[in-house]
């Protein structure tokens, strides 16, 4: 795709977003009514305040299942969610996790317009997931942070560290259960998740990520954070 076609496609995406904003502006529960966003209890020990907080940004790396688990409770509770620049985010898998497809906006290929697309969605939706494809300047991050606070939206950066994230979650270890000696099949995945909390100590927990998309559950606190390798979650350059 040449540069002109990319610009035209980005403009078409933005126009669809404007139409979406107009269409859902009168719907109930498009935005979250409280600061605390419904979040699976498995994430409580990893997030400041025990849940996602409206008006805040987070970072996630290492697992699509982890990402879908973070969206599932809010979506089931009525929140609109958007996913920008993550083409492998599958609608079928999302539905199995309880994410309501009728309240899900997917912009799979935003191109160079990923940041304005993300900002536009943050005006209309409760939770926006975005995969940055370029380094986010401090000025752009500050502008979007102000918009998140004003609108009461949540931003989740997938795959790279977002400046000012309240928490950055990453899978640091993983193993499957259900496979015996030469027989059986993968049933569920046990993962170690480390959370780098802004202004606080790192947190570590073990979660069960079922292969059939059943609810994610907490196993127990993992090793002390000091004994776990630091996150390899980097800002895009």
Q: Residue 20: which CATH number?
A: 3.40.50.300
Domain final position from 166, 192, 207: 166
Using CB atoms within 10 Å of the CB of residue 62, give its burial: 0 to 12 exposed, 13 to 18 middle, 19+ buried.
buried
Domain annotation covers residue 237: no
Same domain, 56 and 147: yes
Quick one: pLDDT at residue 87? 95
End-of-domain residue from the set 166, 185, 207:
166
Say if strands 167-179 and 154-158 run parallel, antiparallel, or are unpaired.
unpaired
Instruction: Examine residue 203 and state whether it is found in any structural domain, yes or no.
Output: yes
Q: According to the model, what pLDDT value does residue 132 have?
A: 94
Question: How far apart are the C-alpha atoms of 226 and 204, rounded to whole Å?
Answer: 10
Domain for residue 126, yes or no?
yes
- Counting the structural domains of the chain, the total is 2
Final residue in a domain of this structure, among 166, 195, 218: 166
My answer on whether 13 and 127 are in the same domain is yes
Which residues does the chain have with pLDDT short of 70? Answer: 1-14, 16-34, 177-187, 210-215, 220-237
Same domain, 26 and 53: yes
H-helix segments, 97-230: 114-124, 138-151
109 lies in a domain?
Answer: yes
Range of the domain at 183: 168-227
Helix (H) or strand (E) holding 60, with range, is strand 57-61
Task: Say if CB 125 and CB 153 are below 8 A apart.
Answer: yes
- Judgement on whether residues 56 and 108 belong to the same structural domain of the protein: yes
């Amino acid at each position: 795709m040449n540069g002109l076609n990319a610009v035209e496609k980005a403009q078409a995406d933005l126009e669809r977003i404007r139409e979406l904003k107009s269409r859902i502006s009168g719907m109930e529960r498009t935005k979250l009514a409280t600061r605390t966003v419904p979040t699976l209890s498995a994430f409580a020990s990893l997030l400041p305040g025990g849940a996602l907080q409206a008006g805040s940004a987070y970072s996630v790396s290492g697992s699509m299942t982890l990402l879908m688990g973070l969206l599932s409770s809010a979506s089931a509770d009525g929140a609109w969610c958007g996913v920008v620049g993550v083409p492998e985010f599958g609608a079928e898998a999302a539905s199995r996790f309880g994410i309501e497809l009728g309240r899900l906006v997917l912009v799979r290929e935003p191109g160079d317009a990923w940041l304005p697309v993300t900002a536009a969605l943050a005006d209309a939706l409760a939770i926006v997931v975005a995969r940055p494809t370029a380094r986010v300047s401090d000025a752009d991050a500050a502008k979007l942070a102000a918009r998140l606070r004003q609108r009461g939206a949540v931003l989740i950066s997938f795959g790279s560290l977002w400046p000012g994230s309240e928490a950055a979650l990453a899978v640091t270890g993983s193993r499957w259960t259900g496979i015996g000696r030469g027989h059986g099949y993968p049933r569920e995945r046990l993962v170690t998740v480390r959370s780098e909390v802004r202004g606080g100590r790192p947190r570590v927990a073990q979660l069960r990520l079922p292969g059939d998309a059943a609810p994610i559950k907490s196993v127990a606190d993992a090793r002390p954070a000091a004994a776990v390798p630091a996150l390899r979650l980097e800002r895009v350059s």
